Every structure is written in structure tokens, then in C-alpha cells.
Amino acid sequence: MEDLNIRIGGRAGRITFTRPQVLNALSHDMARAIRAALDEWRDDPQVELVVIDAEGDRAFCAGGDIAAVYRSGLAGDHEVGRRFFADEYRMNAAIRDYPKPVVAFMQGFVMGGGVGVGGHASHRIVGDSTQIAMPEVGIGLIPDVGGTWLLAHAPGRIGEYLALTGARIGAGDAIHAGLADIYLPEEEWPDLIRRLENTAELSLIEGEDAPSAALQTRDLSAFGGATMAEIIDALEKAGDGDTLKALRRNSPLSMAATLAMLRAARGDRRMQESLSREYRYTYRATAETDFLEGVRAQIIDKDRSPKWTADASPEHVRAILAPLGEAELQWEEYA
């Protein structure tokens, strides 16, 4: 397809994002195409590993292409978003559970939907330009695509910090947080990919010393609060104005739901449990949350002044994360 170059090169299945003009944003069709390629190669003896990379130096994938979800939701059609999120999450799970190695080369912006592709690979390579973030609370959503699972397994309170602020981190912090595995200068990536195609030999992936991880020594104890109110109170007492400013830009409902989901994800045995919980939020997102207003303010009109109105009470958080009955995301094929 036009936005992806899917092919077999030597002993590797190759998936390359090819829409750098829009920072390789992930569309619904792209999510389905990635999943279809993985299914096709699962039992293909010619494909011994999968390499996922991207054209352009600005982004591996800067997020999901949610314009269609926004437009349909605004018109009262909530099914477009529900189908997109369901197919995207099944693709995320397919990458994580893939029986063959998946090697992701993640340069530039790796955000939202990009984390859902590269962040679940078995071998995650980052470089000097890499900037990873899960900034969904800024558009009235939550860190989905398995983001609550990944962030729940970050050391200490890094997961809460990244999820609630949407902060961007570089290669060193990404490795420390468990969102990446290997640092390698980007000029070395093309040669490594060629050698992986020729040999499928994973021992060729030899990283170098990663840049320092600032988060390793940062005091994030305020994010241990049981509620958003407790976290904000602790930050106020610590005089952390920059972090408070970041939190005050974001949807109160999104942050409250994210905090609940992150804590719940720590008890999940499989990522699919976290994805199912995320789907409960995104299934309801265009009808019952700040999502449409957040997209309007940040992406459509770009006035950066969202008017958050969704109920952020504990009761509404519980309601928005309640099981969906017959609409629950199904995982029979991964059982």
C-alpha cells in the first residue's frame, strides 16, 4: 500500500512506514496491513525475522491518524473510532506475541500509535534523534495501544510521570524506562538492516553505551499519590511548577482514568488485559469524554486551548472503564 512498503528482503519480512510528510502517522488501513503481513509471514519459512523501520529522519511514527475518528465522532458516528481502535490493538498484540523476532528501528518522534508498533517489538533500537512519548492525555484520551502495560512496568513512578505529563524522553531515558532496548547511532542502522536481511542473525545487534538517563535520578515520589489530587498536592508542596503546568494542560478525566488504568495494569498477567481496559475507554471516547474537544484544540484548530468539560469524578472514571459486555475486545486467536 502507498503508506507502507511491505516486502520480503532476504530472510527478513520488511515493514517500512512511507509517509514521512505526515510524520508516518498510523492510519486504520496501515494498522490492518501490518497485522495482515504478520499473519502471512507467521508460518513462512523464508521469513526468519521481521524488521520495522520508517522513511524520513523526523519520525518513526508520531501517532495515530485520527482525523477520520474525529470527523465521524463529531457527526455522531462512534463506530469508525471503535473499529479503528479494535484493529489497532489486535495489531499491537500480534507484534508483542509474534513467534519470530521483530526488530524495530525507531528514529525521531515515536509517539502514541508509534509506541504501539515499535514499543512491543522484541528488539527495540533507538538513536540520538529518538523522542518517545505517550501524550494522549493532552487530547482527552489515555495512553493506549498497550501504553498502560508498558508504563506500568517502568521503574518506580516513571510510568505515572510519563503517562500523566506526556513528557518526551530520549534514548537513554527510553531504555531506562523499558520502552527501548538498544542504543545505536542512526548512521549504522542501514548496514545492520542489510546484514539482518542476509543472515537473520540476532547476535549482529550490538548496541553502544546509551546516553545518560535523567529520569534515573529524578525524584518522582509525588506520583505515588493515590489520586490526582494527592499527586498535585505533593507537587505543589515540592514547588514543582513545571510539572504542575504540564498537568494543568491535560484533560482531568483522561488523567484520572489513566492513573486508575496504570495501577490496574500492574496486576495484569498479559498485555491483552491492559488493551481490553484501554478499549473500554476508547470505545466510549467520542461519546463520553473530552476526546473530540482535545483533538479540535490540538490538531484541528490548533488553538491549544481545549475547554475540558468531561466529568472526572471517581464514579465517572469507574463507569468509563466498566466492561462493555458483548462489545468487549476479544482475543480468542491469542489465547
Residue range 255-311, pLDDT digits in tens: 999 999 999 999 999 999 999 999 999 999 999 999 999 999 999 999 999 999 999
Alpha helices by DSSP H, the chain = 28-41, 67-74, 79-96, 113-118, 147-152, 158-165, 171-177, 189-199, 228-238, 241-248, 252-265, 271-288, 291-295, 314-320
User: What residue spans define the domains of the chain?
Assistant: 4-334
Nearest 5°: phi and psi at 327?
-90, 0
Quick check: 334 pLDDT over 60?
Answer: no
What are residue 110's DSSP bridge partners?
61, 132
| Structural Rg of the chain based on CA atoms | 19
Burial 17-27 (b: 16+ CB within 10 A, else e): bbbeeebbbbb
Give the position of cell 475540558: 308
pLDDT reading at 150 higher than 80 = yes
Neighbours of 262 (CB within 10 A): 25
Phi, psi angle pair for 15, to nearest 5°:
-125, 115
SS3 66: coil
Q: What pLDDT band is residue 331 in, cutting at 50, 70 and 90?
A: confident
Among the listed residues 118, 141, 131, the one whose alpha carbon sits nearest the alpha carbon of residue 26: 118
Decide: 208 and 200 in contact? Cβ < 8 Å.
Answer: no
Contacts of 278 (CB under 8 A, 6+ apart): 89, 142, 143, 144, 145, 146, 147, 148, 261
**Cβ pair 77, 131 in contact under 8 A:** no
Which is nearest to 145 in space by CA: 178, 112, 97, 98?
112
User: What are the pLDDT digits (tens) for 53-72?
Assistant: 999 999 999 999 898 999 99
Which among 64, 170, 61 is positioned nearest to 126, based on CA atoms? 170
d(CA 211, CA 181): 13
pLDDT tens-digit series, residues 76-117: 999 999 999 999 999 999 999 999 999 999 999 999 999 999
Task: Classify residue 294 as exposed, middle or buried by CB count within 10 Å of its CB (0-12, 13-18, 19+).
Answer: buried
- What is the Cα–Cα distance from 102 to 35, expressed in whole angstroms? 13
- Render pLDDT for 174-201 as a digit per residue (tens, 0 to 9): 999 999 999 999 999 999 999 999 999 9
Report how far Cα 274 is from the mean position of its chain's Cα atoms: 12
**The three cell numbers locating residue 54:** 520508517
pLDDT level of residue 333 (50, 70, 90 thresholds): low
Report residue 332's pLDDT band, with 50, 70 and 90 as the boundaries.
low
* pLDDT at residue 335 is higher than 50: no
CATH of domain 4-334: 3.90.226.10
The owner of cell 489486535 is: 90
| 289 Cβ contact list (under 8 Å, min separation 6) | 140, 141, 251, 253, 254, 281, 310, 320
Coil vs helix vs strand at 178: coil
